[in-house]
Structure 1
Amino acid sequence: MKPLLIITSYFPPEIGAASNRIYHLAEGLKNDYDVSVVTPLPNYPTGKIFEAYKRKFSSNTEDHGITIHRLWIYASISKNKFLRLFAMLSYSFSLIWFFMWHKIPDKVIVQSPPLLVSFTCMLFLRSKKRKLILNVSDLWPSAGLELGALREGFAYNLLKKLEAFNYKKADLILGQSNEILTHITTITAQPQLFLYRNFPEIEIPKFTTTNSDKGKIKLVYAGLLGVAQGIYRLCNELNYDTIEFHIYGSGAEEEVIKTLIESQKDLPLYFHGRLDRAELHQVLLKYDITIIPLLNRIYGSVPSKIFEYAKLGLPMLYFGGGEGEHVIKDHNLGWIAKESDYKHLNEVLAGIKLSDLNVTLKAAIQNTAKHEFDFKKQLETLKKVL
């Protein structure tokens, strides 16, 4: 089989949509290619190298037929911009070292963002003989501007130039959303474009009735507790008259959420920590509805949770705007609340009855996921353009 290299900043055992997306892509391609993955020593989302990998400069392992090269990185989730920049540069330097000492295949998939890491790959690996495939999951630096993580100025303009360079040097670009692909066409018409959604490859489980003895809707959030999700604010803004709110995950807001729960013990608000993906899927089946929030609407973003929860048969309340709203509406996956409008969010929640969250609705959502969000079908189409 021909070799194929995947370069990513996130990979299991790290959690999150990015690592899951790349893992399933590697798994799906290994029957057609000799797949290898280059990734940092695992550290996300804690910003600390995982215990099993501490005091290592690199690690080379084989997992289910995939060769995994883990490289040194200065791990950090510091809010200090210089430390975060150094963290990205450290992985870029490790990649350059890897490129110098390894034979790089003629077909390479590069994950973007991080923008600086993908720029390093596109700069050093460009060759007329090599096909560079850029997998774009978010639009940086514009997403950083919308999140408030970046400001317009010299640094932002420099990142825009890196972004344009990456797109123009790619032979094929995989975009997670139609908005991403539309944005790319405003910069360059050179690469071939392909809509590659983050469909999960998971077993569709059976579900049971979940109604609470207290007559309240069991609302759940599971995932990263970061700035973009805004879960801490959500905890403060929710009206708990008809709901109880359960939270799973970890991230930057974890401690303030725990402190809030400790200070507001009268609220039906619960934090359960982080679970591995397989265990989480089973736990989620006991809840009535899940919420998918974004603190601010991010152009190009379509949360992968939509497709994963659909396979679980879990009704969704989407609170993030953008293309994600259209996915929920077009496929009848749940309810929509206006982005950043907490009053409307509570109105929508108040209008949902336990009787609405029935087995018929869950079965319909699962059936939609089975036919519309088919990972294998999408992968077979992708193979034709790789």
Structure 2
Amino acid sequence: MKDLLIITNYYPPETGAASNRIFHLSQGLQKYNFNVSVLTPLPNYPKGRVFEGYRGRFKQTSIENDITIHRLWIYASNSKNKLLRLIAMLSYSLSLIWFFIWNKIPKTVIIQSPPLLVAFTSVLFLRSKKRKLILNVSDLWPLAALELGALKKNFGYKILEKIERFNYRHADLILGQSDEILAHVSSIYKHKNSLLYRNYPYFKAPLPTYKTQTSDKLKIVYAGLLGIAQGILKLCKELDYSKIQFHIYGAGAEQLAIQYLIKNNTELDIIYHGEVSRQKLHSVLTQYDVTIIPLLNRIYGSVPSKIFEYARLGMPMLYFGGGEGETVINKYELGWVANASDYTELNTVISNLDKTKLALENRIKIQKTALNCFDFNKQLKQLIEII
């Protein structure tokens, strides 16, 4: 049995795409005869506060589903203040250094990036000719931060670019969740070993169900992180509610602002349901006509994991983020697209939706496409063959 360590910022009981991705990866590798351990902070995402039951500890180690989970101290914060976010990343990096000094590290390590500084710390301290470092790149930082407006192209940005290049240079293998990510890495290091490794979900998909709505209004649902990148607050302000009702599930930085907007603008037909478990979400999504997957701006390299998860559920999708995600929606006929950041076109697309594509027959077709084309185990086997 081969020992393997996964270093990540996110892991259950935290929720979200990153947590789910690493959880399924660890479970999958364990089933294929790897002795997997996970190194992660004390759970705090997305609330920015360590969860109850984990507070007041510097480290907690547990065995969960035959996997050893080491949870380390972090100064937790989801503040918009860049300094506080930096302190949070540095605090976990210091905890990692402490762990590296006092513990034996396996010869195969998978490192999640971003966060860029956490990946840098791991690569810097673990690089060795005797160790294989696999960098799992889910977003391109600092480029994504620049496109979101969170960073400016100044001296600090150049430092982050150097850190990014350092990580790529010293990784033995790059896993990229999109072709754009792999193209970016190749533009920096042409012959770097890489593998397209999408964020495919792994769960038993219930058969699609759907009852034709009697209401004249189209029920659109968003479920997920209410963060800056998703732009749900702006979306709430820009949608035309004459023909739709907008339902929201999730939590994050924009949550309070969204709740305030709903409370003080009762003419907006928005219903906020709070945060629910992933399992419950899978059961409630089927009551809606279509799910929307937005990004505030087009982010190079980004392909939201919701595309693959909702396809597995047979949900028709309205994609509003541009880039490679748009290509996936069109190629596999999973729904509709509107140009990123063009809210006028978005409202036009919504008003002209072909409602025959909301029917149960099309949902079954979407699910079959997902089961055939977005196969978690097939992808995992490709990874195992090269590690």
- Using the size of structure 2 for normalisation, the TM-score is 0.98
Matches within 5 A, 1:102-181: 102-181=103-182
1:6 has 2:2 as partner = no
Q: Any conservation in 2 of the 1:137–1:175 contact (CA below 8 Å)?
A: yes
Matching residue of 2:313: 312
Matching residue of 1:374: 375
* SS of match in other structure, 1:103: coil
CA drift at 1:210: 3.2
2 CA distance for matches of 1:82 and 1:217?
42
CA drift at 1:225: 0.4
Q: Structure 1, residues 345-379: CA drift from partner, whole Å, max 9, x if none?
A: 00000001443310111011000001000101111
Matches within 5 A, 1:350-369: 350-369=351-370
- Using the size of structure 1 for normalisation, the TM-score is 0.98
Q: Any conservation in 1 of the 2:207–2:364 contact (CA below 8 Å)?
A: no
Q: Structure 1, residues 191-249: CA drift from partner, whole Å, max 9, x if none?
A: 31000000000111122223333222110000000111110111111111221110000
1:26 has 2:26 as partner = yes
Q: Between the two proteins, what is the percent identity of the paired residues?
A: 61
Q: Structure 1, residues 287-323: CA drift from partner, whole Å, max 9, x if none?
A: 1100000000000000000000000000000000000
Structure 1 counterpart of 2:66, one-letter code: G
Structure 2 stretches of 5 or more lacking a match? Answer: none
Q: Any conservation in 2 of the 1:217–1:354 contact (CA below 8 Å)?
A: no
1 CA distance for matches of 2:272 and 2:334?
25
Matching residue of 2:62: 61
Structure 2 counterpart of 1:298, one-letter code: I
Matching residue of 1:90: 91
2 CA distance for matches of 1:207 and 1:78?
39
RMSD: 0.9
Q: Structure 1, residues 157-214: CA drift from partner, whole Å, max 9, x if none?
A: 0000000000000000100000000000111135310000000001111222233332
Q: Any conservation in 1 of the 2:186–2:192 contact (CA below 8 Å)?
A: no
Q: Any conservation in 2 of the 1:171–1:190 contact (CA below 8 Å)?
A: no
Q: Structure 1, residues 114-167: CA drift from partner, whole Å, max 9, x if none?
A: 000000010000000100000000000000000011111111000000000000
Structure 1 stretches of 5 or more lacking a match? Answer: none
Residue-pair matches, total: 386
2 CA distance for matches of 1:128 and 1:308?
38
Q: Any conservation in 2 of the 1:5–1:109 contact (CA below 8 Å)?
A: yes
CA drift at 1:263: 1.6
Q: Any conservation in 1 of the 2:8–2:39 contact (CA below 8 Å)?
A: yes
Matches within 5 A, 1:233-244: 233-244=234-245
Q: Any conservation in 2 of the 1:294–1:319 contact (CA below 8 Å)?
A: yes
* SS of match in other structure, 1:384: helix
* SS of match in other structure, 1:250: coil
Structure 2 counterpart of 1:17, one-letter code: A
CA drift at 1:37: 0.1
Structure 1 counterpart of 2:213, one-letter code: S
Matching residue of 1:267: 268
Q: Any conservation in 2 of the 1:211–1:354 contact (CA below 8 Å)?
A: no
